[in-house]
Structure 1
Amino acid sequence: MVTSEPTSIWALGGPLLEGPVWVAREKALYFVDIKRHRIYRLDPATGERAEWGAPDQVGFVLPIAGGGFVAGLKTGLSRFDPKDGSFTPILSPEPDLPTNRLNDGTVDNAGRLWFGSMDDGESAITGTIYRYDGKSCTATTPKVSITNGPAVSPDGRTLYHVDTLGQVIHAATLGEDGDLSDPRVFARIAKGEGFPDGPVCDAEGCLWIGLYTGHEVRRYSPKGELLEKVRFPVSAITKIAFGGPDLKTVYATTAAKHLDAAAREKEPLAGDLFTFTVDVPGMVLPEARI
């Protein structure tokens, strides 16, 4: 399955890189550093790199149909224009929860935006997964401390979301109208093996999950069976994205904020952007129709 070992390709040493997404219309990778309030872009074909500052913590940027991006900032959704670096507020889903921030997101096959919130202190049970269709923003899952994902299966019928501190990956049936039903546990991560972070599906419907403090990325079958582990030289892998011309190049974001000085010396590549290759491709993320 994996045809090369993970290697660092962008030495950022970031506290919390997150949200890698392959933007097909640009043939480029976007990702963020939440704690440094940065958005990054990599063009693998040319090697060109770019970055922008965000007005606050930024959990994700996802492409919008017609151009531009939606950014998940600490206080809510904003439209991000990379041409001038501007941010235009769209909505704040949790004005009554100032200690929360937005953390991760995806787009389903109908163009609806799905994103999660979490307690910025990583302890209060105040995070949930939202669905936004351009008109209404709806909370869809029970509250947890740290949400991650969601991810959507290739057929658009299953939505996966993560309770990171609970070490559980959940699944639910996604209806054509965007409603969720039949909530169920998809997989659990045993204590001591790391905390499940960002999920994403490949073209075979298998779910890939980054493990925070687990030193690896895992691939699960649609039935929740562990199929493969990819070991990294750093302990916190936050999420992966499939990119390149055949969607077989994997990009992985990592983190360093959990490391003290002594541990940082042992993980000099922590917080870098990594890549490896696989023989089963990923999928192009739909653009948000919002």
Structure 2
Amino acid sequence: MALMQAGHLLAIGAELGEGPIWIDGALWFVDIKGSRIYRHVPETGALDRWDAPEFVGWVVPSAKGDLIAGLQSGPHRFSPEMGAFDRIAEIDAHLPANRLNDAAIDPAGRLFFGTMDNDEAAPSGRVFMLDAGAVSATAIHPTVITNGPAIAPGGTHLYHVDTLARTITVHAIAADGSVGPAAPFLRFTGDEGHPDGAICDAEGGVWVAFYGGWAARRYNTSGQLTDEVRFPVSNVTKIALGGPDHRTAYATTARQGLSAEALAAQPLAGDIFTFPVSIPGLPIPPANS
């Protein structure tokens, strides 16, 4: 197993950093609880920020040339040039405590995203699919905190993270985008922390960030641990694989829930970290909406 240390990249101090994604030479990420969207261009060092009108879980590229942002009330079309948000669909209107949490796009451009109870108590989180502007709920069982989903290369399978249950299940994706029943993939004891955001690399390996675990870890398609990256902060939330060759990992972290004593011991909590990987990621396809 390969073991390494993550390096510090950007001082952000996010309450709940999340959703890192590599789009056209830039790293995009969000602070969910800060309702902010960020763009960092490593080549120039530029760092831009937009304020969102609601909690924002992620941004992804759209085939229409703009971005789609996962705001609390649903996916919105987002124009960085105008700083404008236009809702595509309303999600969970009957559950005002719910918000969007994580997302991934399959090769067909279908956007899979999860919801969760912002109070992290009710099992009201579902995984939805946005396909050509239409939203439908998948058959994945409701849970308190949905994470991932991660999409396997070729779009054949989806990995769903149940953070509080500390499990990851794998689901076949049919040609029409429907998601099949759960098969077990990984179960954690708790010593590792809580599994948070997950992504797949070009070989189908699954990178998982661990909230409260001080680490990100990679597992192969058989569920064997192949890589572990240690962090100087406890709450690692998700990684993205980017850079010119998609061999640079970028990780978001969080200050949320840390006591004053813990924050004093972790002054870099909420910042962005980076480390190299041997197996690259794949370019993110644009959403078809």
Report the TM-score, using the length of structure 2 for normalisation. 0.97
Go from structure 1 to structure 2 and tell me whether the alpha carbon gap of 1:151 and 1:18 turns closer, same or farther (over 3 Å shift): same
What letter is aligned with 1:95? A
**Conserved 8 A contact 1:154-1:202:** yes
The equivalent of 1:14 in structure 2 is 14
Alignment of 1:209-228 (within 5 A): 209-228=208-227
The equivalent of 2:271 in structure 1 is 272
The equivalent of 1:138 in structure 2 is 136
Residue 29 of structure 1: CA displacement? Answer: 0.7
What letter is aligned with 1:132? L
Match of 2:50 among 52, 66, 91: 52
Inter-partner Cα distance in structure 2 for 1:202 and 1:254: 20
The two structures, once aligned, show a CA RMSD in angstroms of 1.2
**Conserved 8 A contact 2:35-2:53:** yes
CA deviations 1:212-263 (Å, max 9, x no partner) are 0001001011121222211111101100000110000100000011210001
Inter-partner Cα distance in structure 2 for 1:198 and 1:156: 18
Alignment of 1:49-88 (within 5 A): 49-88=47-86
**Conserved 8 A contact 1:201-1:207:** yes
5+ residue gaps in structure 2? none
The equivalent of 1:192 in structure 2 is 191
**Conserved 8 A contact 2:3-2:227:** no
The equivalent of 1:259 in structure 2 is 258
The equivalent of 2:115 in structure 1 is 117
Inter-partner Cα distance in structure 2 for 1:85 and 1:136: 24
Inter-partner Cα distance in structure 1 for 2:225 and 2:54: 37
**Conserved 8 A contact 1:2-1:276:** no
Inter-partner Cα distance in structure 1 for 2:184 and 2:263: 34
Inter-partner Cα distance in structure 2 for 1:5 and 1:27: 24
Residue 136 of structure 1: CA displacement? Answer: 2.7
What letter is aligned with 2:150? A
**Conserved 8 A contact 1:2-1:278:** no
Report the TM-score, using the length of structure 1 for normalisation. 0.97
SS at match of 1:55: coil
Residue 66 of structure 1: CA displacement? Answer: 2.7
Question: How many residues align structurally?
Answer: 288
Inter-partner Cα distance in structure 2 for 1:209 and 1:135: 29
Q: Determine if the alignment matches structure 1 residue 28 to structure 2 residue 22.
A: no
